[in-house]
Amino acid sequence: MPKTTSSDKRKTTATGAAESPARRSAAALARIVAELEAIESDSGDGTVQLGGDDSLKVSSLDKIFFPRPKVTKGEVMRYYTSVWPYLHDVLADRPLSLKRFPDGVGGKFFFQQKAPANAPDVVRVESIMSAGGEKQQRIIAGSLGTTLYCTQIGAFECNPWNVRAQSLENPDFTVIDLDPGSRSPFARVIEVALWVKEALDHLGLHAGVKTSGATGIHIVIPLPPSSTNVTAERVPRLIAEAVAGAHPRSATVVRPLNERGTSKIYVDFGQNARGKTVAAAYGVRARPDATVSAPLEWGELVPGLDPRNFTVRTMPKRITEVGDLWAAVTKKPNPARIVTTL
């Protein structure tokens, strides 16, 4: 099992003992939201108290991250705090890949895999093996402090691995990413998603569906315990190839962009290798409208659905109205007797 590599304080955070949603009450989260708002209204710089002995220095909370809706860094932090009871289980114990936007979505970005050397103690850091076989210090998600710190450094997209730190060889989900061509309307993405649903139903499998937070749809298939990377790569490939084969005018598994055609939906099964990531459910995306990756019910996949409606400003109210759609699906593994025989 990977070990933490910093102070005792960080080790305590890494166990998750202080991060149970049951322990972090709605009142405590509301207090953190209010504190973040007060810091932003003042100078934009300060220290937010996260509970117990945990705190995090934050700065420039008044910086505009999303120019069009004028969403600030502080507002993104407040969003993550408000949805933390739902986001916690999505992220807990997962290594993160960082995509940093220091000046918001309108500025330059860069990818960062290794944890920053100066990460504060509230951030969980562990030494894990990369896809290339190199031991690396990586940020491990699961604490609110870690998520707020990532936002602080401009890495506000939550892009977790499909494994937990304590079981790096055993992915617990696999994903099909529906990526539209430049001339494909979102209605066509919905159509292909429903074809994938038909294939899953035929096999006796269930999956969660969510907007990508951009222009596509993610279909996430929970895997049985002790699944391997081979399984995580094989299952979506078989389904994607079946859908593309049955609907060649609308769907494709051809990877080179210039060979797909601009009107087809790329049924991407290649995001399941070790270290590959897609956006987390409830995670903010680096898109002009400050959209998030929104869990859906399958019945919501109808013409007229607009992924731009799910934003940092609308998602908290939606969760209040529909509940946590993601947990109900992803906490129920698919049967091993089906998955292992595909």
Predicted local confidence at residue 43, as pLDDT? 95
The tokens describing 118, both together, are 């100066």
Pairing of strands 295-296, 251-252: unpaired
Share of the chain above pLDDT 70, in %: 93
- Angle between helical axes of 26-41 and 84-91 (0-180°, round to 10): 100
For 67-100, the pLDDT digits (tens) are: 999 999 999 999 999 999 999 999 999 999 999 9
Predicted local confidence at residue 17, as pLDDT? 39
Pairing of strands 71-72, 64-66: antiparallel
**Are the CB atoms for 58 and 36 separated by under 8 Å?**
yes
With 60 as the cut, is the pLDDT of residue 216 above it?
A: yes
For 144-153, the pLDDT digits (tens) are: 999 999 999 9
Q: What are phi and psi of 130, to 5 degrees?
A: -75, 175
Beta bridge partners of 177: 218, 268
- 19 band by pLDDT with thresholds 50, 70 and 90: low
Beta bridge partners of 261: none
Mapped onto helix, strand or coil, the DSSP state of residue 108 is coil
For 99-140, the pLDDT digits (tens) are: 999 999 989 999 998 999 999 999 999 999 877 788 999 999
The pTM assigned to this predicted structure is 0.93
User: Read out DSSP for 281-319?
Assistant: TT-B-SSTT-BB--EE-GGG--TT--GGG-BTTTHHHHH
> How many Å apart are CA 202 and CA 131, to the nearest integer?
33
- 300 band by pLDDT with thresholds 50, 70 and 90: very high
Burial of 298 (0-12, 13-18, 19+ CB in 10 A): middle
**Helices within the chain (DSSP H only):** 8-15, 26-41, 73-82, 84-91, 144-152, 186-203, 229-246, 257-260, 315-322, 325-330, 336-339
Share of the chain above pLDDT 90, in %: 86
For 250-288, the pLDDT digits (tens) are: 999 999 999 998 999 999 999 999 999 999 999 999 999
